[in-house]
Structure 1
Amino acid sequence: MFKSKTSWRDKLEKPQAPKLVTVPPKMAARFGTGKMLIPTPMLVDEVMRSVGKGKLITAGQIRQKLARDCGADVTCPLTTGIFMRIAAEAAEEDRANGRKRITPYWRVVKDDGSLNPKFPGGEAQQARHLRDEGIQTLRCGKKVLVKGFEKTSRVGSE
């Protein structure tokens, strides 16, 4: 497997500013017109860190919160997904370096309640972390889902 010379922590903390751009024409059919936020890895990490134990947040909720906080109509789903992965990998790097408080990336699920196979350790590791917090998962076909996802306590659903 390819190993980058740049650590995940360095990728997460790379100095950059969020950008507001016009929604690209190719994305307008899905997201409408207006302003699209291109977030930074640290902004995405900050939202992920805000999710308390036993709670969940969806990728869509992260994008909505970022757009709202930055005065945009939507947040770029592609960069948000990439930055969620960077935050998750940096968290595991931190754990390996002895840090106790890491970004709880396992509390982020896809919009349909399924687990993210691209997070460190894949769906199996995410499911273990969730079980440790009292959240049950189940396999449904090829996906692993949060059991009772619609009833699960989610950030912003109280």
Structure 2
Amino acid sequence: MIPPGAPGFREADGGAMVISSPAEVDQYLRRIQAGEVATLDQLRAAIAQAHGVAVACPVSTAIFANMAARAAEERRAMGEDPASLTPWWRLLKKGGFLNEKAPGGGALQAELLEAEGVRVSPLRRKLAVFDFAERSACALASP
């Protein structure tokens, strides 16, 4: 059970919350194919469903996604094959917005998405994927 006031308390509606792991979040990110995107909320829902609980922790899931992104960019800087990297750039914030806290900020994320044919444009002064709902990754729901 989640204590009152803790992250995810309202979402769980009295249910249980799972705290994922960096490896599990990385595994889910690798399921998102080129040209597809997913939001952090979709990622959390998939993790919660896999564990049979009401919600996945919003704080730790975001931290683990950021860790996967930074690790991927470190490996890219060391010359690792880009095809073997975790595609962190396919994970968006709510509403399809790019993550300014990601490595390289929204500019690098936009560049990597556009290289896969995903259209990125400014929306309310922030970069967003124009058609993120249509590009939503159904791969997150698979086991």
Same fold by TM-score greater than 0.5: yes
The letter of the residue matching 2:13 is G
Find the aligned partners of 1:110 and 1:58 in 2 and give their Cα distance.
Answer: 5
The letter of the residue matching 1:51 is I
Cα drift, residue 142 of structure 1: 2.9
Cα drift, residue 24 of structure 1: 2.3
**Residues 1-158 of structure 1: pairs in structure 2 closer than 5 A:** 22-27=1-6, 28-100=9-81, 101-151=84-134, 153-156=135-138
Cα drift, residue 29 of structure 1: 2.8
Gaps of 5+ in 1: 1-21
What SS does the corresponding residue of 1:148 show, helix, strand or coil?
Answer: coil
Find the aligned partners of 1:139 and 1:45 in 2 and give their Cα distance.
Answer: 28
Q: Report the aligned-residue RMSD.
A: 1.4
Q: Contact (CA 8 Å) 2:40, 2:94: kept in 1 or not?
A: yes
Find the aligned partners of 1:93 and 1:118 in 2 and give their Cα distance.
Answer: 16
Find the aligned partners of 2:72 and 2:137 in 1 and give their Cα distance.
Answer: 20
Q: Contact (CA 8 Å) 1:47, 1:62: kept in 2 or not?
A: yes
TM-score w.r.t. the length of structure 1 is 0.81
What SS does the corresponding residue of 2:109 show, helix, strand or coil?
Answer: helix
Cα drift, residue 141 of structure 1: 2.9
Q: Contact (CA 8 Å) 2:11, 2:55: kept in 1 or not?
A: no
Find the aligned partners of 1:91 and 1:46 in 2 and give their Cα distance.
Answer: 13
Cα drift, residue 147 of structure 1: 1.2
Cα drift, residue 64 of structure 1: 0.7
The letter of the residue matching 1:81 is A
Aligned residue pairs total 135
Q: Contact (CA 8 Å) 1:23, 1:32: kept in 2 or not?
A: no
Moved over 6 A (4+): none
Identity of aligned residues (%): 38
Bigger CA radius of gyration: 1
